[in-house]
Structure 1
Amino acid sequence: MRERTRELGLLIIGDVFCFIAALYITLAARYLALPSQELLRIHLIPFLIFTGLWILVFFISGLYDKQTRVARLHMMGRIVYAQFVNILIALVLFFVLPFGISPKTNLLIYLFVSIALISAWRTYLYPWLDGARRKRMSALLIASGTEAHELLHEINENNRFNYRIVHHIDPENSMRDVPGAPQLQKMISQKNIDLIIVNTSLLYAQHTLTLLYSDLAAQGLPPMRDFKTVYEETFDRVPLATVERDWITYHCADRDSLMYTVSKRLIDIVGSSILLLFFALLLPFIALAIKLDSKGPVFITQDRIGKNGRRLRVWKLRTMTQSESTSGLFFKENTTNVVTRVGKYLRASSLDEVPQCWNIILGDLSLIGPRSHILAQAERLAKIIPHYKLRTTVTPGITGWAQTHQFYEPGNISPQSNEETCLCFTYDLYYITHRSLMLDIEIALRTIKTVISRI
C-alpha cells in the first residue's frame, strides 16, 4: 500500500508539473518571447482551476492505474485521449466562466505541447526516477500454475517493483527436484534471498517452510509475503489457485457494514431512477430505430442468476436478430444469432442495459457488482470454471470491476471465450474480496471512460 501511494503521488506531481510547464512553453511559442508575469498570471489562474478536473479525467482514463506492462502498452493512447477531453473541458469553461480571456489558439498549441511533455515524463523520466531510487532486492517465488509464471514475468520485466525473482520453485511441476528444508535454507543463503513470496495453500510450502522457520537455529531468514496478496496488488484480480475453503468462508460471508449496505442501496435507487427518467426521453427514438432496423420486439426478457443463485427475470432492449433470451449458446463461434446495426450502438453505449434499472429498484440487481449471467450460461460455466458460483454471493450489477479492467479484442465488449470468462471471474473475485463504497465510486468513474471509449 505504501508503494502504491508513493507511485500515485509521484505520477500526480509529475503530471501537474507538466501541465504548468506546457502552459509556459505554449505562451513562449505563441508570442515568441518569454511570457511576462502578468501574461503568465492571467493564464495560470484558470489553468490551475482546470488542473483538478484534468487529474480526474486522467484517473477516469486509466492513467493512474498500477503501472503494469499492460497498462504501459496502452499509455500513449490514453494520454492523447485524455488531453483531447481536457482541452474540450477547457474550451467549455472558458466560454461559460468569466476569465476575461479566450485563448483558442493557445489551447491548440497547449494540446500538442502537453501531450509531448506528459508522454516524455511517463515514458522516460518517471520509469527512471522509479527505478533509480532504490536497489532491487532478490526474491524467491514458491508457487505453481500459470498465475505464478504470470507474476514472475511481470515482476522481473517491470522496474516498478523493488525486488526481482531470482529463483522459482514450482512444486506441482517438479516435485522430484524441489529442495527440502535444509537445502532450501542453504539456497536462500547462497542466492542472498531478501524475500520469499509463497502460496501457502501448497502442501510443500506448508511442510517445508514450517520446518524451516520453526528451526530456532535458523537465523537471518528473509520475511515472507503471501502469493495471493502480491498477485492481487499487482493485477487487481484474485488468483484462482489460492481460492480454498478458508478464503470462501471469510470473503463470501455477509460481512458488509450497515453503513455500506444502506449507502449502496440508496445510491442504487437514486441512480437507477435518474437513468430511467433519462431513458424514457430517448425510448421513442430508440424503439423506432429498432423496429426500422430489423423484425422483432423492442424489448426482450432474460432469465438470469441473482444473488445466492436466485433466478430473476430482467428486461433489455433487443440488440440481436433473434431473442437472446432463448439462446443457450453464447460465444461467437457457437451461434448464428448476430448483432443488428442499431444493436451495435446500443451495446457500445450500454443503453440496452438501462431497462435493468427497474430490477435495481426492485432490489434484484445493483448498479455496481459482478454482471448477472443468463441462466443456461451460468450453469454451463459453473461446470468448467472452479468455484464459479462464488460470484453469486453478492448482488449482481450492471457494471463491475471486470467490465472496467479487462481488455478485449477490438469490436468486443464482453468475454468471447471460456478463457476470457475465467479471467473475468478473477476480477469478480477481487471485487467480492475488496467491495466497499470507495471501490464502487471508482468503478462508476471508470465506467464513464469505458462507455465513451466504445462509442
Structure 2
Amino acid sequence: MLIDAMLVIGAGIGCAVAYHLYAQSVLGKANVYAAASALVALNFILLIIVQQGYRLKAITDLPRTLRMTGTTWTGVFGALLAIAFAMKVSDEFSRGTTISFYAVGLAVLVIWKAFAARWTANALRTGAFANSRAVMIAEIGLPASSNAISDLAQHGYRLMRIMEIRERELTSPLLLSAIAPRFDELIAYARENRIEHVFLLMSWDRQHAIDSILDALKILPIPVHLVPDAHAARFLRYPLHSAGNTWTAELRRAPLSWNERALKRSLDLAGASLALIVFAPVMLVTAVLIKLTSPGPVFFRQTRNGFNGRAFKIFKFRTMRVLEDGPKVVQARKNDPRVTGIGKWLRKTSIDELPQLFNVLKGEMSLVGPRPHAAAHNSEYEQIIGNYAFRHHVKPGITGWAQVNGYRGETRALELMQKRVEFDLWYINNWSLWLDLIILFKTALVSVGQRSAY
C-alpha cells in the first residue's frame, strides 16, 4: 500500500512538473497537483483494499492483479474527473497533465505489480515468510502425500516437529492411554520451544481421535487447527461463504461479480447510445433501401437465447426474402438465393447487426459477448458440445472474441462451432473492461474485411 501511494503521488507530481515545463516553461501549481495525486492514491488504495487486493494470494495472482489495477485506476480517474467537472474545478487541471498522469501512473503501477507478484511468489516458495513456529500431529503416511506441509511453510508457518500416529491407535477407544508418553514429550517440546500453533492432519471422519487429541492439548494455551483431509480439501479450495450459521463452498461462481456487471452495463449504455447517434443516418438510409428493393418489413426479428438461457427477440435489418423463426432454421450460405441484393452488402459490412443496439439498451444483449444463435441451432449444439451451455452465463453480444478471431458467419463443420465455443468460454473466464474495448476496436477493423458472413 505504501509503495502504491508513493508511486501514484510521484507519477502525479512528476507528470505535472514535466508537462508544464515542456509546454509552458513554468512550474505550474505543484501544490494543487500534489493534493490531487494524494486524493487519487487514497481512493485507489481504498478500492484495492475493498477488493482484498493486498492479500498474499491476490498479490501473486498476476492476471487478477493486473485486471484489478486497470479497472480500479480507470474507475478512480473517471469518478474524480466527473466530480471535478460537476463542481466546476476541472479548469484547475490541464488536459495534458491529466492524460499523462493516467497513462504514466497506470504503466508504473502495472510494472510494479508484475515485479511484486514475481518477488512475492519466489519468497513464498523459499519459505521467507515462515516465522510462526508450529508442530503437526498427523495420521501416519499423510504428511508425505499431503500438500498441506508445503502450503503451511509458504504461508507463514515453520513446522518444527511432526508427530505421526498409527491408524490402529487412532481407531482405538484408548488412544490417549496408548500414546500418553509421546503426548507428554510433545507438550514439553511445545513449551520449551515456544510453539505458537498445532495442526492436526488426519481424516475428518476420525471424530473420536480428534476430540481426544483436543482434550489432551487443552493444557497448552495455543490454537489448534484441523487441516482438511483429501476429500474436504478438494472443495475447500473454492471461496467460502456464510449463510447464517452455515458455511458453504462456492463450487462455481458467477462469471462476473456485481461490480463487474455494473461496469459492463455502463459501457453498454454509453456505447450503444453513442453508436445510435453516430449510425442513425446509416440506419435510416438502410431502412429506405430495404423497403425500395424488396417486399417485406425493414426489421427481422428472431428468437434467440440470452443470459441464463432466457429467450428474447433479436433485431436485425432484413437481408433475406424469408423470415425463418421456428424449430428449423437454415444458416445463410455463400451465394444463398434467399439473400436479397441489398442484403448481401448489409451482411458483408455487418450493417444488418446495427438494430441490435436496441437489444443492448433493453438489457437483453451486451456490446461484447458470445454471439446468440437461433433457438433451433441452440438446442442442437447444446446436445453435442459439452460446454456449450456455459455461453449463457453472460449476456450475448453484438460482437465477441470468437468473431474478431475469425469465427464469424456460417459454421459448415462441427469443429468450427467447437472452436467458436472455445473462444467464447475463454472470453467469459478472462473478462475485463479493457478486453471489451480491444474487441470493439478489432471489430471496427475486421467488419469490412471479413469474408465468412454471407
| Common fold: TM-score over 0.5 | no
**TM bracket (short chain):** 0.3 to 0.5
> Which has the larger Rg?
2
Q: TM-score under structure 1 normalisation?
A: 0.42
Q: TM-score under structure 2 normalisation?
A: 0.42
